Structure 1
């Protein structure tokens, strides 16, 4: 089924894939984990964040997270 895509604004693309319109099959080609504080990775126009106290716990009790094996 055709789709209508409206205005698009792309601020930056860093090694990613962008899909517009109909997508039958989308799967991740890579995965990563990032530990950051509250409000540190926010993006957008006219952004205001009010974080009084921010703590980040990077401890991960899992041995391995879900992988992306088989996504060719």
Structure 2
């Protein structure tokens, strides 16, 4: 599955884009000025996305990769 397919599936499931998740992560203090906050680990993001949005591990990791700058 391509990275874009992961993002498309996430949007279909949640109605949210990668940019929407970035805004939500900023509110939760996972991101600061668009960058991962110090001491925030992939597991923190994955747990949040699994709990609040019922994303699977792979899809949650795709959002984490998006936060780190991956776009394709």
Taking structure 1 as the reference length, the TM-score comes to 0.20
Of the two structures, which has the highest relative contact order with CA contacts closer than 8 Å and spacing of 6 or more?
2
Say which structure is richer in helix: 2
